[in-house]
Amino acid sequence: MRPEQWETFKKAARREKMDKIPMAMIIDSPWIPGYLGIKHLDYFLDPELWFQSNLKIMEEFKEIIFVPGWWMEYGMAAEPSILGAKIKFWQDNTPSEYHTLYRLEDIDSFPEYEVEADGFAGLTLHRIGMARQRILDAGYILPMVTARGPLCTAGFVRGTTNFMIDLVEDPKGAHKLIDLCTRVVIDWLKAQQKVMGDGVESIFILDDIVGFINEEHYLEFAHPYLKRICDAFPKDWVKVYHNDAEVDACLDHLPDAGFNVLNWGKQKHIMEVKKRVGDRMCLMGNVNPLEVAVRGTPEEVKEETLEVLEGSGGEGIILSVGGGTSPGMPRENILAMLEALEEYNAKRSTSVAGTGR
């Protein structure tokens, strides 16, 4: 993102008064290759194609803040590959991972991890280092480091079904795995910060597995570890949390974990989410990412976007889809969101001016 976009995002994240509601979208390897008509493997393995692809998207949609911006990520491969998960790559899809931790007790036999060298984490850091100066020279910055969360990483390494069973049948072993994954996440974020430089002042955590558990399990197996991650970084940093699964169990507690911004899915209406978190978080959402943003007409996208904006009350929101930008979301639907936002901001500006505020 550009420096002025980051300043806008920071203000919104901190719920400062703003003349206009901004729009931000999470974009990464699921969406970019398909949108540009290129192979996923070429996007991952050709540094020049990766750079030009990201530059093209940012230049094409100058009004949108792309999060985290210049994201060098091999699908969801980096974090689980640090702990030995098997990764498969495909020509026309993001990589998939397969668990290799068949027994929790085998954690004791794991070799010491080294995020700077292990798996696709090492490759990611090298690519960031290669591109960093070129990104800065093009007028963009790298303010945000990114990682999958501890439960998400644990699910990749152990297998989601096995991990869910562990929470009930072997909670002590589950805690041991989650603790290991939390240490990996913190070290991985700090390794990215080191390569990106002093401009970093935000973390972005993605953990959908939190949406698979109840509130009791959230408070035991997720909240302390998410808080530990937030606490590992300066208090004034912007901390963004993504979970486009169900957020009912965690919703009331996320601000206490230390997060400023919530990007959530289509399951909960923005009015309910806003009522529950109040002024404790900025909401980044919540246009239906698949049935509307991908499959809907521009008219339907515009209608839903306006409905989301109205539900927000015009405060404490960064307009986005409910989660990451789904593969196949067409240009005309992105433009429809922008058009709706422009109309809403104009009406909001007129309304505020009329009240003399």
For 213-270, the pLDDT digits (tens) are 999 999 999 999 999 999 999 999 999 999 999 999 999 999 999 999 999 999 999 9
DSSP 3-state assignment of 104?
helix
CATH number where 249 lies:
3.20.20.210
Reply yes or no on whether the pLDDT at 356 is more than 60. no
Q: What stretch of H or E contains 272?
A: helix 270-277
pLDDT at 8: 98
pLDDT at 355: 58
For residue 198, the enclosing domain spans: 3-355
Q: Which tokens hold the place of 59?
A: 């230049």
Reply yes or no on whether the pLDDT at 353 is more than 80. no
Task: Spell out the alpha helix ranges (H) of 14-82.
Answer: 32-36, 40-45, 47-60, 78-82
Mean pLDDT, all residues of the chain:
95
**What does the alpha-carbon distance between residue 43 and residue 32 come to, in Å, rounded to a whole number?**
9
Cis peptide leading into residue 68 (ω within 30°)? yes
pLDDT at 348: 86
What's the structural domain count of the chain? 1
pLDDT at 354: 56
- Convert the pLDDT of each residue in 311-333 to its tens digit: 999 999 999 999 999 999 999 99
